[in-house]
Amino acid sequence: MAKNTPKQYAVALYEITEKLSGAKLSEALKEFVTLVIREHKTKQFDKIIKEFESYAKKKEGIVEIDIVSARELDQKLLNKIMHVFGKNVEAEVTVDESILGGIKIKTEDKILDGSLKTQLLKLKESII
Amino acid sequence: MSINSIVEELKKNISAFEKQVEVEEVGTVLEVGDGIARLSGLSKCQANEMLEFPGGTFGVALNLEEETVGAVLLGEFKHIKEGDTVKRTGRILSVPVGDQMIGRVVNPLGQFIDGGAETKAKQFYPIEKIAPGVMSRQPVSQPVQTGIKAIDAMIPIGRGQRELIIGDRQTGKTAIAIDAIINQKGQDMICVYVAIGQKESKVARIVAKLKESGAMDYTIVVVAGASAPAALSYIAPYSGVAMAEYFMDQGKDVLCVYDDLSKQAWAYREISLLLRRPPGREAYPGDVFYLHSRLLERACRRNKEAGGGSITALPIIETQASDVTAYIPTNVISITDGQIFLETDLFFRGIRPALNVGISVSRVGGAAQTKPMKKVAGKLKLAMAQFRELEAFSQFSSDLDPETRKQIDLGQRLVEVLKQPQFKPMAVANQVAIIYAVQNGFANHVAPKEMVTWEGKFHDFMNKSKSAVLEKITAGTWDETVETELKEAITEFNKI
């Protein structure tokens, strides 16, 4: 059988635990942990948890984005940016001065690059 | 004044520049190693699409799976680590094509590696393309003159043909291909030499030789050296043929040499196993036949309506201990329009090129031979076949009847005449003249060992004093007058 990826474990975990609570939930979790141990995947627990988080968020309609900006963003602007991506947005902001200005937003499988650095590079390309 | 105008121009350029938000689709590296990478994300990735890894390394997406994408890396991959971001480029793997490539040494991505000037390419061709269909093809009708007597006479190659050169290591496979390239001078051909998994020193020697003989003026050399990643060896022949297709689209004739395809098959096997594709016979993946058939099918002669032009392919296969029944040799033999067999024991007996004329064939090339060559070559094949049968008896020379004796003598002289040193391609007219002379008994007074010197003098004489006859033969005329003139010329030479 092919190797299962951490994502497949995460999806499985989400699907079994979705509608459970209380004693049944802890029983299911116990079973899951036994499975992971039996398949020698304990090393990948970190990854499975990470994948589980992002999968659960996606299922519940939460959008995760990473914002890179040159300077600290104020809350009003941040809210405006987050509003573009939907209602339930979780944003992680990092400050990186090397992009000079503007912002760079990373969603799940896309990068929206509005940084000044990229614009200048493009201008350079268009002139030379 | 000029400074002002430059500033104005610059200002105009800058004001015309519109800022855009760049949208890029990205994925992340899950695992990397042995020249391949497994990626997650990249949900819209196309097959054979180029992917940009950090540090300017490119990769090609080969496996598109449910959760992951399997890619081969084209270049250095030490700096790539798990979690790195990979960008889609939206471009199918393609190489720069155009006239600027001629005379250059390039890697399979079309980047110059000869240290010469960088020139920007105007056009790119995808390396994978479906071969021309039935309606755009026509049978071969024009010859490719290799300049090698044995080949041009008995195993003729036509423009658009695929002729396999097969043999063990050190039997002169590359030598034949290089001689063929050198002989294309002034024949209105573009040549592409693809070196796959070859020693860089050997490639350097070949390039030097091509330069020396002036063949680099119409040749592109594509190199995936022995130290290059398997992915480059795998794509090298496809990028070579893509560059050739550009010239074919201009209506030109192109000669493509793939040296050699067994190494390409090894590289593909390596990649396939790393990508966990199921192995089959000799551990090659199931589509190893398609690997070569789709490449060689792109060699073709296109008809006028489809734009004309042709690509002639000379693939080379190296056998292990003359085993032509191995997987790759049988595959390629069945794809090509004939094969040139080279044998070790012939090579060491001093018969060079070490052609085994008995089992070498050209299935379509005969249609492309010139008339004089066709006339003399027909008898040559027969004489050689008879000689092979009687060869074993040649030791009992005293006990043989005169008829058999005569055939053995003729055979021995023909074998001598078909020997040819490397880098000495010969014009068709000279080939016809010498074969005609020997066949018709004009060299019977010469001992087989003396044939080489006699032949040298003969060509000198013909080139200097009888160029009119040679010209007629070159033009493709062959009738009684030409034959008589040739006969007279040979008799005259023998009198000296």
- The per-residue pLDDT of chain B, averaged, comes to 92
At A1 the pLDDT is 43
- The per-residue pLDDT of chain A, averaged, comes to 84
B68 near A CB under 8 A: yes
Contact B67/A5, CB-based, under 8 Å?
yes
Output the CA–CA distances (angstroms, integers) from residue B408 to B20, B131, B413, B444, B453, in the order listed: 82, 47, 9, 12, 21
CB nearest A109 (choices: B10, B25, B30): B25
Residue with tokens 């309606």: B135
Contact B21/A113, CB-based, under 8 Å?
yes
CA quadruple B311, B330, B164, B411: dihedral positive or negative?
negative
Closest to B233 in 3D by CA, of B287, B270, B269, B197: B197
Provide ipTM, 2 decimals. 0.73
- Residue B412 burial (CB < 10 Å; 0-12/13-18/19+)? middle
From the CA of A91, how many Å to the nearest CA of chain B? 18
In this structure, whether the domain defined by B373-495 belongs to CATH 1.20.150.20 is answered with yes
A108 near B CB under 8 A: yes
Nearest CA in chain A to B12: A127
Model confidence pLDDT, tens digit, residues B9-59: 878 877 877 777 778 899 999 889 888 999 988 888 999 999 999 988 999
Residues 37-56 of B with CB under 8 A from A: 40-43
Model confidence pLDDT, tens digit, residues B309-348: 999 999 999 999 999 999 999 999 999 999 999 999 999 9
Residues 6+ apart with CB under 8 A from B376: B153, B432, B435, B436, B439
Calculate what percentage of chain B has a pLDDT beyond 70: 100
Nearest CA in chain A to B28: A109
Model confidence pLDDT, tens digit, residues B340-385: 999 999 999 999 999 998 899 999 998 999 999 999 998 898 899 8
Ordered alpha helix ranges (H), B2-133: 2-16
Alpha-carbon span B239 to B193, nearest angstrom: 11
Alpha-carbon span B453 to B414, nearest angstrom: 14
pTM: 0.88
From the CA of A96, how many Å to the nearest CA of chain B? 17
CB nearest A110 (choices: B17, B26, B67): B26
Cβ pair B161, B338 in contact under 8 A: yes
Indicate the DSSP class of residue B278: P
Per-residue pLDDT band at B430 (split at 50, 70, 90): very high
| Residue B363 is a catalytic residue | yes
Q: Across A41-45, B396-400, B405-409, which has the greatest mean pLDDT?
A: B405-409
A116 near B CB under 8 A: no
Cβ pair B57, B89 in contact under 8 A: no
Set B276, B281, B349, B363: catalytic member: B363
Chain A residues with CB under 8 Å of B13 CB are: 126-127
Residues 6+ apart with CB under 8 A from A125: none
Cβ pair B296, B162 in contact under 8 A: yes
Contact B67/A108, CB-based, under 8 Å?
no
Is A2's pLDDT higher than 70?
Answer: no
Residues 6+ apart with CB under 8 A from B245: B97, B125, B129, B298, B311
From the CA of A116, how many Å to the nearest CA of chain B? 9
Residue with tokens 């390419």: B121
A128 near B CB under 8 A: no
Greatest alpha-carbon pair distance for chain A in Å reads: 68
A117 near B CB under 8 A: no
Calculate what percentage of chain A has a pLDDT beyond 70: 97
Model confidence pLDDT, tens digit, residues A15-40: 888 888 788 888 888 888 898 889 88
Is B230's pLDDT higher than 80?
Answer: yes
Contact A109/B21, CB-based, under 8 Å?
no
Output the CA–CA distances (angstroms, integers) from residue B446 to A73, B288, B379, B413, in the order listed: 97, 51, 21, 9
At B402 the pLDDT is 87
B19 near A CB under 8 A: yes
CB pairs A-B closer than 8 Å: 48
Q: Average of pLDDT values for B94-106?
A: 95
Domain extent listing, chain A: 6-59, 63-127
Q: Average of pLDDT values for B445-465?
A: 92
Contact B23/A118, CB-based, under 8 Å?
no
Domain extent listing, chain B: 26-91, 96-369, 373-495
Is B258's pLDDT higher than 80?
Answer: yes
Model confidence pLDDT, tens digit, residues B411-420: 999 999 999 9
If one looks up domain B26-91 in CATH, what number appears? 2.40.30.20
Contact B26/A113, CB-based, under 8 Å?
no
Calculate what percentage of chain A has a pLDDT beyond 90: 0
Calculate what percentage of chain B has a pLDDT beyond 90: 79
CB nearest A109 (choices: B30, B43, B68): B43
Residues 83-112 of B with CB under 8 A from A: 85, 87
Contact A113/B23, CB-based, under 8 Å?
yes
Contact A126/B10, CB-based, under 8 Å?
no
Contact B27/A110, CB-based, under 8 Å?
no
At B80 the pLDDT is 94
If one looks up domain B96-369 in CATH, what number appears? 3.40.50.300
From the CA of A31, how many Å to the nearest CA of chain B? 25
Chain B residues with CB under 8 Å of A5 CB are: 30, 67-68
Interface mutation vs chain A, best among B14, B17, B21, B43, most A CBs within 10 Å? B21
